[in-house]
Structure formats: C-alpha cells, structure tokens
C-alpha cells in the first residue's frame, strides 16, 4: 500500500533527482500559472528546488539552514531549517524520521497513483496537510494544503533514485551584490 511505498522510499532511496511541474489551486478553484524546475535531495534534510519557469528562484537546504534566492529581486533569505517555508513537505521527502513527525494514512488511488496522507504532528504554521503519491515504488507527486485551503501540487517526472549527488550541491553562497536577510 502507499504507506508501505513511503516507508520503502525513505529507507531505500537516500538521494533523488526529478523534474517537477507545480500547479497552485486557490480555495476558489482558480488554478494559477504552473511553474517548472528540478528537485534534488540527499538524506537527511538536504534538498534543492531549482525553479526555472515562469521565473528563476532557488531554494536550498543544507540540513541546517534553508536559503531562498530570488534572482529578479536580487534577494537571499536565510532561515533555520525547522522554521523555513514550512519545511514540512521537504522533510517528508528528504527527512529520515517521518513516523515521528507525521501521522500517516492510506488514501484511495487516484489516476493510477497510490496516495498517502501525512498530517504534521505539530500543525502550526502555514501547512495543514501533505499528500505524497507513488506509482508502484516510484515517487510520482506531492501536494500541500495550506490553512486557507489552497493546494499546491508538484508532479514529478524523469525520476532518478539514488543518483550520485555531491553534498556541495546543497550548499549555497549568495552572489555578490545580493541583499542577504538572515531570519
């Protein structure tokens, strides 16, 4: 079942790389323009979201801090890992202790994907629900629902399990001239 697939994924897949398409749907049903990019992770808690379209934005976690670099605004925001952007969803994929942090429940299959619902045990902050989907043993999608009922879904493609990814990939040095906000 989906919980089994998630447990296997956390145990067997120590690193990963995939392309993603992200679609945000408001609680009024309005779908916003999709964004695309690549996602990489390396347990424990190191991840990288490289947004390419419609604009470039980078989110990098080295497991201790999370950097957000918005190139158009030339600004870098740095936060401790546990206070960053609701580290919840990334913790589900890149973390190592999902049973400690989440209550898991199988959900009905949808469009050939097996879904598991993960509710954060300390549900403060902007994220109320995270769902992860597998196609057999392969990570297929994840979906975040915030406190306002807005849903953000990332669908993965070109998924690679256990590729060799150097730890340096999860370090970030702010470019010269960028405003850096330590929060």
* Residues in touch with another protein (CB under 8 A): 22, 24, 26-28, 32-33, 49, 51, 54-55, 57, 59, 68, 70, 72-75, 77, 85-86, 89, 124-129, 144-152, 179, 181-183
Q: Are the C-beta atoms of 157 and 24 separated by less than 8 Å?
A: no
Query: Which residue lies nearer to another protein by CB, 9 or 51?
Result: 51
44-49: long-range pairs with CB below 8 Å, 24+: 44/94, 44/95, 44/96, 45/81, 45/87, 45/90, 45/91, 45/94, 45/95, 45/96, 46/94, 46/167, 46/170, 47/90, 47/93, 47/94, 47/170, 48/169, 48/170, 49/20
Q: Which of 164, 179, 156 shows the shortest CA–CA distance to 23? A: 156
**β pairing state of 75-80 and 179-182:** parallel
Query: Which residue lies nearer to another protein by CB, 12 or 56?
Result: 56
C-beta of 151: minimal distance to another protein in Å?
Answer: 8
C-beta of 52: minimal distance to another protein in Å?
Answer: 13
Query: Which residue lies nearer to another protein by CB, 7 or 57?
Result: 57
Query: Which residue lies nearer to another protein by CB, 68 or 98?
Result: 68
What are the residue ranges of helices labelled H in the chain?
2-12, 88-94, 98-101
C-beta of 20: minimal distance to another protein in Å?
Answer: 11
Identify how many contiguous H helices and E strands the chain contains and give both numbers.
3, 12
Query: Which residue lies nearer to another protein by CB, 4 or 54?
Result: 54
C-beta of 2: minimal distance to another protein in Å?
Answer: 20
C-beta of 12: minimal distance to another protein in Å?
Answer: 25
């Amino acid at each position: 079942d989906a919980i089994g697939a998630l447990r296997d994924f956390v145990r067997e897949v120590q690193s990963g790389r995939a392309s993603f398409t992200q679609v945000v749907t408001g609680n009024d049903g309005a779908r916003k323009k999709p964004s695309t990019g690549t996602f990489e992770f390396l347990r424990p808690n190191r991840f990288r979201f490289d947004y390419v379209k419609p604009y470039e934005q980078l989110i990098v976690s080295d497991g201790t801090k999370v950097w957000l670099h918005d190139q158009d605004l030339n600004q870098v925001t740095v936060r401790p890992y546990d206070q960053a952007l609701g580290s919840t969803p990334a913790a589900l994929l890149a973390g190592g202790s999902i049973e400690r942090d989440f209550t898991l429940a199988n959900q009905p299959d949808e469009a050939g994907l097996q879904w598991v619902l993960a509710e954060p045990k300390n549900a403060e902050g902007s994220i109320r629900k995270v769902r992860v989907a597998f196609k057999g043993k392969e990570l297929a999608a994840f979906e975040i629902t915030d406190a306002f009922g807005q849903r953000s879904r990332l669908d993965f493609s070109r998924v690679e399990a256990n590729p060799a990814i150097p730890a340096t990939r999860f370090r970030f040095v702010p470019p010269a001239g960028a405003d850096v906000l330590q929060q």
